[in-house]
Amino acid sequence: MQLVKALLSQLLACVCVLGLRAAFPSISVWQFVVIQAGLAALFSRGFRQPYWWLPIHFLFLPAILLGLTWQIPAWLYLLVLLLLTLLFWGTVKGDVPLFLSSSAVSGALIEIVSREGAQSVIDIGAGLATVVVPLAKARPDVAIAALERAPLPWLLAAWRCRNLANVRVGRSSFWDQDLRQFDVVFAFLSPPVMAKIGEKIRREMRVGCLFVSSSFPLPNSEAESVLELNDRRKTKLYYYRID
Ligand SMILES: C[S@@+](CC[C@H](N)C(=O)[O-])C[C@H]1O[C@@H](n2cnc3c(N)ncnc32)[C@H](O)[C@@H]1O
């Protein structure tokens, strides 16, 4: 659905710009490209696409025009498309995109895992194992699972964790993972999935265990506590006790 909205945004912006070009033939190609990029971003917001689509819409046509100007070989487009697909995987369908947590987040997670006396932890959507690696190094006695669905981040996460005996990196969806066995579940996902995640953790996690959500709260749930970190994004960690 997101892909259809993105294509529609680009197409509508192109149609508007072609109309403008007929009315103002003296405006340069680059000026039209900039207007098209701005309009595409506006249409994208009109279609309620998530904010992270904005830079894609801003850059799409200018990047193509630059590529044509510099006569970039066709295989390079294919390579970039392949890399982006392997990196972001289901993101075009509206899945959670790849953003990385700061070291302050992993520091806070190490602290809470120790305070909880947790023996098993999972990062559902581990990205490049940015949180998992420092946690595994600080707490080699804790069994850690890292799930990542996108092929390239999974490969990099598996490589980074290759010497960490207490980490298992899985290339599967967290929707297929039973969370019953984990004392602490960590997630840094996105707002559209939080309601469904809330249902999943309440259904599967054991009473007394802790769900930690970075940046995005669970709708209709009261967090036990909220920690604001002193990193660049002023990340908030929401702690939910399962009752
Ligand atoms: C915002 S990133 C967080 C990365 C890492 N946990 C961190 O805090 O730095 C979310 C990750 O979840 C992954 N993801 C999205 N949907 C998933 C799913 N259903 N199962 C497993 N991973 C998923 C994405 O590919 C992305 O790498």
110 domain residue, yes or no: yes
Neighbouring C-alpha atoms within 13 Å toward the C-beta of 44: 22
Cα three-residue angle 83-55-40, rounded to 5 degrees: 115
91 lines ligand 1 (CB under 6 A): no
90 domain residue, yes or no: no
pLDDT digits (tens, 9 = 90+) for 172-190: 999 999 999 999 999 999 8
99 lines ligand 1 (CB under 6 A): yes
What are the C-alpha distances in Å from 61 to residues 43, 123, 147, 151? 15, 36, 35, 27
> Above pLDDT 90, what percent of the chain?
63
Q: Mean of the pLDDT values across residues 38-63?
A: 88
Q: Are residues 228 and 151 in the same domain?
A: yes
Q: Are residues 226 and 110 in the same domain?
A: yes
**pLDDT-based confidence at residue 169 (cuts at 50, 70, 90):** very high
31 domain residue, yes or no: yes
Q: Can you give the pLDDT at residue 91?
A: 63
Q: Mean of the pLDDT values across residues 16-27?
A: 82
170 lines ligand 1 (CB under 6 A): no
| pLDDT exceeds cutoff 80 at 78 | yes
Mean pLDDT taken over the chain: 91
- Report the domain count for the chain: 2
Task: Quote the domain boundaries for residue 32.
Answer: 2-72
Distance CA 182, CA 118 (A): 8
CA of 4 from ligand 1 middle (Å) equals 23
**pLDDT-based confidence at residue 216 (cuts at 50, 70, 90):** very high
CA of 128 from ligand 1 middle (Å) equals 9
Distance CA 42, CA 45 (A): 5
CA of 12 from ligand 1 middle (Å) equals 31
Range of lowest pLDDT (6-20, 166-180, 199-213): 6-20
Q: Are residues 42 and 118 in the same domain?
A: no
CA of 228 from ligand 1 middle (Å) equals 21
Q: Are residues 32 and 120 in the same domain?
A: no
What are the C-alpha distances in Å from 46 to residues 39, 41, 49, 51, 52? 10, 9, 8, 11, 14
| pLDDT exceeds cutoff 60 at 92 | no
Ligand 1, atom 4, residue with closest C-alpha: 127
Q: Are residues 67 and 108 in the same domain?
A: no
Q: Are residues 118 and 198 in the same domain?
A: yes
44 domain residue, yes or no: yes
Range of lowest pLDDT (26-40, 99-113, 131-145, 158-172): 26-40
